[in-house]
Copies of this chain bind each other. A is one copy, B any other.
Amino acid sequence: MKTAAICAIGDEILIGQIVDTNSSHIARALNGIGVRVGGISSIGDDRDTIIRHLGSLLESNDIVMVTGGLGPTKDDITKAALATLSGAKSYRRSEAQMEVIESILQRRGIEMLEVNRAQADVPDTANVIVNRLGTAPVMEFVFDESRYGHKALLYSLPGVPYEAVGALDDILEAIRAQFPSEEILHRTICTFGLAESVLANNIAGWEEALPDWLHLAYLPNSIYGVRLRLSCYGAGVSGRKEAMDVAVAKLYDILGNYIYGEGNDTLQSVIPRLLQSPPEATCQETIAVAESCTGGLVSNLITSVPGSSVYYKGSVTSYANEVKTNLLNVPEEILEKYGAVSRECAEAMARGVAILLDSDWSVATTGIAGPGGGSDLKPVGICWTAAAHRNPFTGETEVVSRLVKSASASREVNMQRFASNALNLLRLMMQQKLL
């Protein structure tokens, strides 16, 4: 199995101005073609450090993926460091990348400057993989055995996340051309609603019975739930797929509808699968959202799914109480008697938005995200969620609701947890388990 190291370059990472998200995407992509990532690192924009650190990574890895430090400004020095490391004698201009640069600047109405042109220049030791989404080309350096005792590849990617991610397919193809592919098996089960320790306890017996070659990892996330990843590596593992599938089937028996999906599924991405959507477009079921404390997040999550316009009508964020009463028809008596953060209000919001936007399904949130506000009775971190469904046969609307408690002091975390729980309530109602 080939090994890889990933390195992000940039002072902005070391001072905490930006989060390195590229390495995670690259790691996932490499795993997908059977390459094991042994380590991820971030270093500063210092020429000597870059040369020394990348050299040491090349000594102990087959593949080194480098991101960042390729911008047009003066503090980006990765390219010069790579020229030295690879023993380049001069630079050459990539015409193919130059065409992309011209097209991008033209589309954005930006004048071409010498700094832009220079981005198409690469050390003569590099192969160019054209970056179609940005101005800095991807560079491939191939070191033969004489240098590090084994064949080693280095890829230099732009630091801009969508450019780095966008270039990955081409890079994977280049890697496969240099090395025969290795085998890997992964299967990830997504759960929601059980704390990690409770989940671990529930499946302890199942876990004990797993064969040695099947590795289980818990990937807990306090917002999106716990994912369980089963994996095995090495030659001939594809023959073990069936045994892995059997183990997963048992897991489904134990966890039931705590499981909402697999792999890259999210609470919002599974929604379209649960909707009635026969070939006749007129029967397509639709969704609407009413939000208070989540401020648009539930709606944003639903629309993050490509193609959601087919089943999504829209939402009302009723941040002010008058919007709840005027637009969503929440009765004023509910606000007076129970307050805006109440089961009654959440249910009225869910009913109200379904009528207002004429949708089959709806979901609503009303709570206290903090950090300020709240009271002893209704502290920061509580949220009422409600989901509603108009029965197509009786015309009646059924509503379910649940109280969510988040122990976090973070406004952002609370909003995300409230939104996840609202989507989960909708998902459960769609699975008709709650009715």
A165 to B286, CA, bound (A): 39
B14 touches A196 (CB 8 A): no
B20 touches A24 (CB 8 A): yes
Q: Which residue of B160, B370, B415 contacts A220 across the interface (Cβ within 8 Å)?
A: B160
A316 touches B319 (CB 8 A): no
Question: Quick check: is A248 within 8 A (CB to CB) of the other chain?
Answer: no
Highest count of chain B CB atoms <10 Å: which of A227, A286, A306: A306
Question: Quick check: is A88 within 8 A (CB to CB) of the other chain?
Answer: no
Question: Quick check: is A19 within 8 A (CB to CB) of the other chain?
Answer: yes
Given known A16-B27, A314-B318, contact A218–B73 (CB-CB < 8 A): yes
Of residues 292 through 329 on chain A, the ones whose CB sits less than 8 Å from some CB of chain B are 294-300, 302-304, 306-309, 312-320, 322-323, 327
When distances are taken between beta carbons in the complex, the residues of chain B under 8 Å from A286 are 320
When distances are taken between beta carbons in the complex, the residues of chain B under 8 Å from A23 are 16, 20, 42
When distances are taken between beta carbons in the complex, the residues of chain B under 8 Å from A295 are 299-300, 302-304, 308, 312
B28 touches A218 (CB 8 A): no
Q: Which residue of B17, B44, B115, B200 contacts A115 across the interface (Cβ within 8 Å)?
A: B200
Task: Scan A1-44; emit 1 where CB is below 8 A from any B CB, else 0.
Answer: 00000000001111111111101111111110000011111111
Question: Quick check: is A334 within 8 A (CB to CB) of the other chain?
Answer: no
A326 to B218, CA, bound (A): 47
When distances are taken between beta carbons in the complex, the residues of chain B under 8 Å from A407 are 104, 107-108, 133
Given known A304-B415, A317-B299, contact A28–B13 (CB-CB < 8 A): no
Q: Please, how many residues of chain A have a CB less than 8 angstroms from a CB on the other chain?
A: 110
Question: Quick check: is A177 within 8 A (CB to CB) of the other chain?
Answer: no
Of residues 202 through 230 on chain A, the ones whose CB sits less than 8 Å from some CB of chain B are 207, 216-222, 227, 229
Question: Quick check: is A151 within 8 A (CB to CB) of the other chain?
Answer: no
Q: Which residue of B11, B196, B319, B327 contacts A309 across the interface (Cβ within 8 Å)?
A: B319
Question: Quick check: is A201 within 8 A (CB to CB) of the other chain?
Answer: yes
Q: How far is the CB of A169 from chain B (nearest CB, A)?
A: 12
Q: How far is the CB of A313 from chain B (nearest CB, A)?
A: 5
A188 to B407, CA, bound (A): 33
A323 to B315, CA, bound (A): 9
Question: Quick check: is A252 within 8 A (CB to CB) of the other chain?
Answer: no
A319 to B299, CA, bound (A): 10
B40 touches A27 (CB 8 A): no
Question: Quick check: is A75 within 8 A (CB to CB) of the other chain?
Answer: yes
Given known A19-B19, A75-B217, A295-B299, contact A307–B372 (CB-CB < 8 A): yes
Question: Quick check: is A149 within 8 A (CB to CB) of the other chain?
Answer: no
When distances are taken between beta carbons in the complex, the residues of chain B under 8 Å from A221 are 18
B196 touches A73 (CB 8 A): yes
A28 touches B12 (CB 8 A): no
B16 touches A306 (CB 8 A): no
Given known A219-B18, A313-B320, contact A110–B44 (CB-CB < 8 A): no
When distances are taken between beta carbons in the complex, the residues of chain B under 8 Å from A21 are 19
When distances are taken between beta carbons in the complex, the residues of chain B under 8 Å from A201 are 113, 115
B14 touches A27 (CB 8 A): yes
Interface residues of A, Cβ cutoff 8 Å to B: 11-21, 23-31, 37-45, 71-75, 104, 107-108, 110-111, 113, 115-116, 133, 160, 162, 165-166, 186, 188, 195-198, 200-201, 207, 216-222, 227, 229, 231, 286, 289, 291, 294-300, 302-304, 306-309, 312-320, 322-323, 327, 356-358, 370-372, 405, 407-413, 415
9 more A-B contacts (CB under 8 A) besides A16-B23, A74-B207?
A: A14-B37, A15-B186, A17-B188, A110-B197, A162-B410, A291-B296, A300-B300, A322-B358, A323-B357
Offer 10 A-B interface pairs, CB within 8 angstroms, sorted by A.
A14-B39, A14-B40, A16-B28, A19-B19, A75-B216, A113-B197, A116-B197, A294-B303, A315-B319, A320-B357
